[in-house]
């Protein structure tokens, strides 16, 4: 099954042979959020053909990136190996890099819980979080709902069921959430322009990119400072 070789003895080449096939890095992105069942991955990657998903999972296992873990009486999950988890900073950096040229969504584009979770991680500003007071948000984008807790020690994101309860904690990085969030707000894909700094929180509300559901709206300012990906001006000139 040795994938088509590039014929070079080089670290970059080896990396690309391990994770460069179509869909592979998106599978890894989702697994960076937490272990996932085959079906979870399929739902999180709505356009992936099932044969491709199973082929990639097999290849990633052979490459030592992914591991298959049976759950007692509960099916099985795929998870990253320690080697696979070393890709986290790379995937986050790629997400930041791609963010700058995302443009506006295609009509067919969806936002999934895992992709939004990772997007928030890519945008997370550790130093801002360390200097600002803690905050506890509930964020709704399209039909995904996230509980986002920020304090000086870092970032914690839990995925909520449409109903409002966190999903299966067995599978999760999701620790149990407690109490009520300080701010609940809903946004569309235009939230990207809040994170890029193109829009202030006030402007975002004005343009109906974002709406406050409940809680202290002034926290949006803190949110925007905690999650931020500056657009490099050099990039815009080039594009």
Partner DNA sequence: CCGGATCCGAATCGATACTG
Partner DNA sequence: CAGTATCGATTCGGATCCGG
Under the rule (CB under 7 A), what is the footprint of DNA? 3-4, 21-23, 37-40, 47-52, 54-55, 57, 68, 75-77
What span, in angstroms and rounded, lies between the C-alpha atoms of 231 and 239? 12
Torsion of CA 77, 82, 84, 90, to 10 degrees: 130
- Identify which range of 97-105, 144-152, 161-169, 211-219 contacts a second copy by CB under 8 A: 97-105
- Identify which range of 33-41, 113-121, 145-153, 219-227 contacts a second copy by CB under 8 A: 113-121
Q: Which of 51, 73, 82, 163 binds a second copy (CB under 8 A)?
A: 82
Structure tokens at 41: 């991955």
What span, in angstroms and rounded, lies between the C-alpha atoms of 30 and 28? 5
Structure tokens at 96: 């930041």
Q: Which of 68, 97, 169, 202 binds a second copy (CB under 8 A)?
A: 97
For the chain, give the longest Cα–Cα distance.
58
Q: Which of 86, 180, 206, 208 binds a second copy (CB under 8 A)?
A: 86
What span, in angstroms and rounded, lies between the C-alpha atoms of 203 and 208? 8
Output the smallest distance, CB 12 to DNA, in A. 16
Output the smallest distance, CB 178 to a second copy, in A. 29
């Amino acid at each position: 099954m040795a994938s088509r070789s590039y014929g070079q003895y080089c670290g970059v080449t080896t990396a690309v042979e391990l994770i460069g096939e179509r869909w592979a890095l998106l599978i890894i992105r989702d697994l960076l959020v937490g272990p996932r069942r085959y079906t979870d991955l399929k739902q999180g990657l709505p356009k992936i053909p099932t044969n491709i998903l199973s082929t990639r999972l097999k290849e990633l296992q052979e490459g030592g990136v992914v591991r298959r873990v049976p759950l007692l009486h509960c099916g099985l999950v795929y998870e990253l190996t320690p080697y696979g988890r070393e890709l986290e900073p790379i995937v986050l950096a790629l997400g930041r890099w791609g963010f700058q040229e995302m443009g506006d969504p295609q009509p067919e584009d969806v936002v999934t819980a895992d992709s939004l979770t990772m997007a928030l991680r890519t945008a997370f500003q550790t130093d801002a979080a360390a200097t600002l007071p803690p905050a506890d948000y509930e964020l709704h984008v399209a039909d995904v709902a996230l509980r986002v807790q920020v304090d000086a020690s870092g970032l914690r994101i839990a995925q909520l069921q449409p109903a409002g309860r966190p999903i299966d904690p067995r599978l999760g990085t999701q620790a149990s959430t407690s109490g009520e969030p300080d701010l609940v707000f809903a946004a569309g894909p235009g939230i990207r322009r809040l994170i890029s700094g193109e829009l202030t929180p006030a402007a975002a509300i004005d343009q109906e990119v974002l709406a406050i559901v409940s809680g202290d709206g002034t926290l949006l300012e803190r949110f925007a400072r905690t999650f931020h990906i500056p657009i490099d001006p050099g990039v815009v000139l080039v594009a």
